[in-house]
């Protein structure tokens, strides 16, 4: 087995060697990027120990890849209604929550960065936040709560 990400492949080989040589018993986790460096995952190399050996008879470890993704963005209409934002403020807040900087939002919207900053100030005031990072944390928390609760 090998990984295209050279750094991750080296870490995987080290984890395999540790089990082969010393019978390592601790989990090793490390980041893995795809060839285009767009997707991120965390690789977990988990040694098979104790009674798990009854099931995984000829296995030394399990290799698990966990994708790292951003939470789904809230619908603009929901963001707007939750905080009584204007449509433009809601779109800006949602873009901030997706990780976009003010300059990129301005470029995407075909407007100036100053206009976007004005919208950001409105969002800050209406949400009771003090910084852009607080807006991101607030909307991310709402998004993750929304994803976890059954409908």
Give the CATH number of the domain where residue 98 resides: 1.10.10.10
Residue 110 lies in a domain: yes
- pLDDT score, position 40: 79
Whether residues 55 and 29 fall in one domain: yes
Splitting the chain (151 residues) into consecutive groups of 10 residues, what average pLDDT does each group show?
Answer: 85 83 74 72 85 82 79 79 93 90 94 96 93 88 58 46
- pLDDT score, position 34: 74
CB 89 within 8 A of CB 123: yes
Q: Domain containing 124: what range?
A: 76-148
Query: How many distinct structural domains can be found in the chain?
Result: 2
Residue 92 lies in a domain: yes
Whether residues 96 and 118 fall in one domain: yes
Spatial CA neighbour of 65 closest among 37, 14, 30? 30
Sign of the CA dihedral with 133 first, then 136, 142, and 144 last: negative
Residue 1 lies in a domain: no
């Amino acid at each position: 087995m090998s990984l295209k990400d050279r750094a991750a492949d080296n870490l995987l080989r080290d984890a395999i060697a540790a089990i082969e040589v010393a019978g390592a018993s601790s989990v090793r986790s490390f980041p893995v990027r795809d060839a285009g460096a767009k997707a991120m995952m965390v690789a977990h190399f988990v040694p098979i120990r104790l009674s798990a050996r009854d099931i995984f008879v000829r296995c030394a470890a399990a290799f698990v890849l966990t994708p790292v993704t951003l939470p789904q963005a809230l619908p603009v209409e929901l963001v707007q209604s939750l905080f009584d934002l204007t449509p433009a403020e809601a779109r800006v807040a949602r873009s901030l929550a997706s990780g976009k900087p003010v300059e990129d939002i301005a470029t995407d919207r075909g407007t100036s960065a100053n206009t976007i900053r004005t919208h950001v100030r409105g969002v800050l005031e209406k949400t009771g936040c003090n910084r852009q990072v607080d807006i991101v944390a607030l909307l991310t928390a709402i998004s993750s709560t929304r994803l976890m609760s059954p409908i």
